[in-house]
Amino acid sequence: MKAWILEKQAKINERPLKLTEVPTPHAKDGEIRIKILVCGVCRTDIHIAEGDLSLRKTPLILGHEIVGIVDDVGNNVKQFKVGDKAGVSWLNRTCGKCKYCLSGKENYCPDIKSTGWDEDGGYAEYITVLENVALPLNDIRLEPSDIAPLMCPGIAGYAAFKLTKARKGSKLGLYGFGPTAFCVLKVAKSMDIEVYVSTRSPKNIEDAINQGADWAADTAKEQMPCTLGSAIVFPPAGNLVEPVLSQVEKGGTVVLAPVSSSPIVIENYTENLWGRTIETLYNLKKSEADEFLEIADRLKIKPERRIFPFEDLQDVLITVRHGKAKVANSVIKISD
């Protein structure tokens, strides 16, 4: 099969990916093989390619926003059959035996494996994956290219949103307005939660208002009009944490979404931290992925996206790396 492979990490401008022929994988026991239709581009792909995250296998096929059609099933597969629509997200495998796996908190499994990092991902014609992590998509009526961007920012945003414990009528703050915050905004508004967005770029402020935010501005320049019940911080900017905590009422929760962050300093514990809870988003759960996809289908959540041919992947990564993408999500079309 054709696949883009990464053998050696390098700056994305040096074009570290190669489009080449590799052996087509076969479905082993408990696995399905998916003929990939589309795979969405995530910034994490660039972090792996450039070496911000270690290279855990080589050669490696990147990509973890995968939508396709099951074209082969291994022995003992019960939930999928050939012809089913299926997806694969960042969650690729957990041990199934540890205390976390046994209590529905597999996101904390010490043996968790990620798609397109520990295992080959979606910038290829086929992928094999255990059926118990594959996401069933037969009931999702959105187009594959609309589903792909939901697979990482969508699921992660939903997981972060659940950690806020926001309820109908409460006030939720979103700091940063990228693809992840967009999905949270849509879910929160459908639950009659008031949403206050802080983001710097005028385009993001305008987008947030157009997408239904109750208020949007750059809080470095303009004070939020009220205190918040809870908030999510998306950018990896540790300096935002104390101001956000100070904006959240006692008993409220601040969720930190990034996978890494600049240092977080709390100077005034008593005023700004005392009485609030900090949560961090740590990997994703299969149950949250299933829940979110059902909600996204019901609400017809369609993140802004542009489709590119398979051959253009490397150019797309360069564009995304330099913040030059014209729309928030790029999706690579792999087959019809």
Ligand X SMILES: NC(=O)c1ccc[n+]([C@@H]2O[C@H](COP(=O)([O-])OP(=O)(O)OC[C@H]3O[C@@H](n4cnc5c(N)ncnc54)[C@H](OP(=O)(O)O)[C@@H]3O)[C@@H](O)[C@H]2O)c1
Give dist(CA 165, CA 173) in Å, integer: 12
Does position 113 bind ligand X by CB under 6 A? no
The residue range among 30-38, 173-181, 295-303, 313-321 that interacts with ligand X, by the rule CB under 6 A, is 173-181
Choices 92-100, 195-203, 288-296, 304-312 (CB under 6 A): range interacting with ligand X: 195-203
204 binding ligand X? (CB under 6 A): yes
Please report how close the Cβ of residue 19 comes to ligand X at its closest, in angstroms. Answer: 25
DSSP one-letter code for 312: G
| Contact between 303 and ligand X per CB under 6 A | no
9 binds, among Zn ion, ligand X, none (CB under 5 to 8 A by kind): none
CB contact at 8 A, 143 and 18: no
- From the list 174, 198, 172, 201, the residue with the least C-alpha distance to 328 is 201
Q: If DSSP codes are grouped into helix, strand and coil, which group holds residue 47?
A: helix
- 94 binding partner (options Zn ion, ligand X, none; Cβ < 5 to 8 Å by kind): Zn ion
Choosing among Zn ion, ligand X, none, which partner's interface includes residue 109 (Cβ < 5 to 8 Å by kind)? Zn ion
Q: How far is 325 from 317, CA to CA, in rounded Å? A: 9
C-beta atoms surrounding 96 within 10 Å: 12
| Sole binder of ligand X in the list 40, 153, 154, 252 (CB under 6 A) | 153
When the beta carbons of 44 and 230 are compared against Zn ion, the nearer one is 44
Q: At a CB cut-off of 8 Å and minimum separation 6, what does 29 contact?
A: 74, 75, 76
Asked if 247 touches ligand X (CB under 6 A), the answer is no
Q: Beta partners for 331?
A: 40, 307
Backbone angles phi, psi at 291, to 5 degrees: -60, -45
Q: What is the total count of residues that contact ligand X (CB under 6 A)?
A: 24
8-state DSSP, 220: T
**Tokens read off for 280:** 């961090």
**Cβ atoms of residues 327 and 305 within 8 Å:** yes
Nearer to ligand X, 170 or 204 (CB): 204
Q: Does 257 bind ligand X (CB under 6 A)?
A: yes
- Partner in contact with 237, chosen from ligand X, Zn ion, none, beta carbon below 5 to 8 Å by kind: ligand X
Q: Print the binding letters for residues 33-72 with ligand X: x by CB under 6 A, - otherwise.
A: ----------x-----------------------------
Q: Which of 121, 144, 235, 303 binds ligand X (CB under 6 A)?
A: 235
Count of H-run helices and E-run strands, the chain: 8, 17
Return residues touching ligand X (CB under 6 A).
43, 152-153, 156, 176-181, 199-201, 204, 234-237, 257-259, 281, 283-284
